[in-house]
Structure 1
């Protein structure tokens, strides 16, 4: 099985890569290339959402690809958030502690609620200043 990647550019502050299939040594370079393209389409301090709803399998090469993506975004003040991991993929993240738990969301709705809360905090902090 191959890797499918759907790049959705919401705006200059947010992009989504929806991935499906297998993320392994043979397909990780495809994700690396897509991440570079997505990163070029967003501002510094942007968020890149990796929607894993269709991802059935991830290997250590896939974990390295995601780690590389996270480092690149963090270097620009941005972040990578993971949503919709299948149970077997989430188990891999749990085992290797590759991604902080607060950056993995079970659904888009959970991610949206988190982002809403973070924005409300920033607004509240601005009013207190």
Structure 2
């Protein structure tokens, strides 16, 4: 699992590559919440290179979304591969999260 962060004028883009599972969920959560602790309030998660997400990974996304909402921020996701999107769909997360097809559409949410 690798994480890359890019600051744009409107939001921080966090790109997740590999597999987000119980083995790495705690460290991924700590890394991303570190951005929020540092003042980031507009976050975009790029799931394009994410191959797999487990329930522990879904929890990371939910914790992040709740934290940003409490801080007056916003979370947008984009680039889900079909099998990752299916996990979000089955869990009901697509109904409660802002998911866009691509980077341009995600950044346009801010």
CA deviation digits over 1:89-114, x for unaligned, max 9? 001111111243660111112224x4
Does residue 80 (structure 1) correspond to residue 41 (structure 2)? The answer is no
Say whether the 8 Å CA contact 1:84–1:106 is kept in structure 2.
Answer: yes
| TM-score normalised by L of structure 2 | 0.88
What residue ranges of structure 2 are gaps of 5+ in the alignment?
A: none
Task: Please say which structure displays the higher CA radius of gyration.
Answer: 1
CA deviation digits over 1:7-46, x for unaligned, max 9? 12225x5211100100000011121111122113335xx3
Which residue does the alignment assign to 2:51? Answer: 56
Give the aligned length: 110
Does residue 108 (structure 1) correspond to residue 103 (structure 2)? The answer is yes
Which secondary structure state, in structure 2, belongs to the residue aligned with residue 42 of structure 1? coil
Which residue does the alignment assign to 2:35? Answer: 38
Which secondary structure state, in structure 2, belongs to the residue aligned with residue 53 of structure 1? coil
| TM-score normalised by L of structure 1 | 0.76
CA deviation digits over 1:35-62, x for unaligned, max 9? 122113335xx31100001100000000
Higher helix share: 1
> Using the alignment, how far apart are the partners of 2:96 and 2:74 within structure 1?
14
Which secondary structure state, in structure 2, belongs to the residue aligned with residue 16 of structure 1? strand
Higher RCO (CA < 8 A, seq sep 6+): 2
Q: Report the Cα offset of residue 85 of structure 1.
A: 0.7
Which secondary structure state, in structure 1, belongs to the residue aligned with residue 22 of structure 2? coil
